[in-house]
Amino acid sequence: MNFIGGKWSWPAGAAKLTSRNPADSRDVLGVFPDSPAGEVDRAVQAARQAFPAWKRCPAPERAKIIRRAGEIMARRKAALGALVTRECGKPLIEGLGDVQEAIDMAELAAGEGRRLYGQTTPSELPNKLCLTFREPVGVCGLITPWNFPIAIPAWKALHALVCGNTVVLKPAEDTPLCGAAFVKALEEAGIPAGVVNLVQGTGERTGRALVSHPGLALISFTGSTETGRGVAESCGRSGKRVSLECGGKNAQIILADARLDLAIEGALWGAFGTAGQRCTATSRLIVEEAVYERVLTRLLRQARRLRLGPGLKKGTQVGPLINERQMTRVLDYIALGKKEGARLLCGGRRAQRGPLARGWFIEPTLFAHVTPRMRIFQEEIFGPVLSVVKVAGLSEAVRVLNDCPYGLSSSIYTQDVNSALAAVRDIEAGIVYVNGPTIGAEVHLPFGGVKQSGNGHREAGKAGLDIFTEWKTVYVDYSGKLQRAQIDNS
Ligand code: NAD
């Protein structure tokens, strides 16, 4: 169902799509529409109508609704976490983490209702006041991926809303129910009709219609770099603001002086958490030669012990891929890695034992003897595949890390403060972890990447307000006469 102008409805004539559990394709969660352009138009019109009143509503009042939505999600956390796991496959502990991120985001965004600070600054002229305000941009189209199906809609929508924008959300077609559950929390929290609208559907039909709609001021997109580029082109043509959070090919460096137990634990969590399907997942491991063999031996031993299974099953550490297409894509990359001459240490196959045959599982896969220019080391695979490269030391490690089209997250394990800080300075990425894995962002810090991982914007943190607001600059002259800037005081 879609949520438009405060009402849930099914668009007339829309094709019916099915949401299935990726751990068991027989498990159907529900159906949803592939919304046509006319339905997108209805949602945009509802958001446009609601905009003037929502913009005028005091920000602390807007924040109260956001806070209530966070409380509703907190009360429902167990059920929502289980829904995330059932619809997108990640282990329950991660499904619950997804919901927690949305709750945290509600707390952060609601707090902004009493801040949204502007600036005051002296004028160059006497008896004159200069100040700035953040103003909402208008109706925002939000397009989100499936891998954080409640957290990412929350990242986008809650900041957009506290700033006074109205929104049309199009969640990923793999996780429509999670998108709807997030919107329901806002509905129950008392969001006025038309302020939040939900249109379900595929990227090709509903997503495209949203991006090209002339009634939107902005598109905030999270997804693959390839799709993001098309979205940005279309926004450029129609003069919309656009924020892109795209792919990654994140690397972890292990220097010889690192705590190897921590470094390996971090690499396994970074590479195989969410079955490697995080934009910040570790897919490249860059290891100093003095410890390379030791790292491989321990990594292999521990990777083999990881428990693959449905996310709702107790003890599961690695869940399925999101769908058959993505599973096939990852298997193709594994075949490519072998062809390129990398050494497959473990995994590399679809897991089909017993009930696993009903889902899209791939065994945690390790490649050693990888060289930096191999495609498996350059391209985003988005699956449980970790490629290991050997380097002589810190400077080569940073060079290899930077020699990649993406720049989202990164990590270095070392006990040496000089090495750590040199890496922090030289790594080309939006996020650098020292002695932590490449995953684990917190909502009160800016999130985003450089190079092909984005287009220069950040989400979350205070920086997350920037895309959703325009600055209004105000000059108040109380001198009682004409004062001419740049002329009267020169
Ligand atoms: P995707 O690009 O296939 O889809 C993302 C969203 O875009 C979906 O809602 C989809 O329906 C929509 N879409 C697809 N084609 C469209 C079009 N032509 N016009 C408008 N919308 C369209 O990505 P995905 O498979 O859902 O997610 C995985 C990708 O997302 C990975 O590349 C991952 O790195 C990236 N990602 C990035 C971040 C980040 O913050 N940087 C976070 C999570 C995921």
Pairing of strands 343-346, 365-368: antiparallel
Nearest CA to ligand 1 atom 9: 172
CA 266 to chain centre: 20
Please indicate whether residue 146, judged by its CB atom, sits closer than 6 Å to ligand 1: yes
Residue 490 pLDDT > 80: no
pLDDT of residue 489: 80
What is the percent of the chain with per-residue pLDDT over 90, rounded to a whole number? Answer: 99
Contact of 386 with 412, CB cutoff 8 Å: no
Please indicate whether residue 104, judged by its CB atom, sits closer than 6 Å to ligand 1: no
| d(C-alpha 42, C-alpha 215), whole Å | 11
pLDDT of residue 250: 98
Residue 20 pLDDT > 80: yes
Q: Name which of 212, 199, 210, 139 is nearest 170 in CA terms.
A: 199
- Residue 337 CA to ligand 1 center (angstroms) comes to 24
| Digit-coded pLDDT (tens) for 167-203 | 999 999 999 999 999 999 999 999 999 999 999 999 9
470 φψ region: left (φ > 0), alpha (ψ -120 to 50), beta (else):
beta
| d(C-alpha 84, C-alpha 76), whole Å | 12
What is the percent of the chain with per-residue pLDDT over 70, rounded to a whole number? Answer: 100
Contact of 247 with 170, CB cutoff 8 Å: no
Please indicate whether residue 172, judged by its CB atom, sits closer than 6 Å to ligand 1: yes
- Residue 34 CA to ligand 1 center (angstroms) comes to 17
Helix or strand or coil: residue 147?
Answer: coil
- Residue 477 CA to ligand 1 center (angstroms) comes to 49
What are the DSSP E strand ranges found in 260-364? 282-288, 343-346
| Digit-coded pLDDT (tens) for 28-44 | 999 999 999 999 999 99
Structure tokens belonging to residue 389 = 């490269």
| Digit-coded pLDDT (tens) for 402-451 | 999 999 999 999 999 999 999 999 999 999 999 999 999 999 999 999 99
Question: Is 245 annotated in the active site?
Answer: yes
| Digit-coded pLDDT (tens) for 257-266 | 999 999 999 9
Structure tokens belonging to residue 91 = 């282990």
Question: Is 293 annotated in the active site?
Answer: no
Q: Name which of 251, 212, 283 is nearest 396 in CA terms.
A: 251
| Digit-coded pLDDT (tens) for 362-398 | 999 999 999 999 999 999 999 999 999 999 999 999 9
Residue 467 pLDDT > 90: yes
Catalytic residue among 245, 288, 380, 459: 245
| d(C-alpha 221, C-alpha 219), whole Å | 6
Q: What residues contact 75, with CB distance under 8 A and at least 6 apart?
A: none
pTM of the model: 0.97
- Phi then psi for 167, rounded to 5 degrees? -135, 155
Q: Name which of 148, 162, 194 is nearest 66 in CA terms.
A: 162
Contact of 453 with 406, CB cutoff 8 Å: yes
Contact of 397 with 255, CB cutoff 8 Å: yes
pLDDT band at 327 (very low <50, low <70, confident <90, very high): very high
Please indicate whether residue 224, judged by its CB atom, sits closer than 6 Å to ligand 1: yes
pLDDT of residue 257: 98
| Digit-coded pLDDT (tens) for 237-294 | 999 999 999 999 999 999 999 999 999 999 999 999 999 999 999 999 999 999 999 9
| Digit-coded pLDDT (tens) for 200-238 | 999 999 999 999 999 999 999 999 999 999 999 999 999
| Digit-coded pLDDT (tens) for 58-114 | 999 999 999 999 999 999 999 999 999 999 999 999 999 999 999 999 999 999 999
| d(C-alpha 461, C-alpha 448), whole Å | 11
Please indicate whether residue 85, judged by its CB atom, sits closer than 6 Å to ligand 1: no
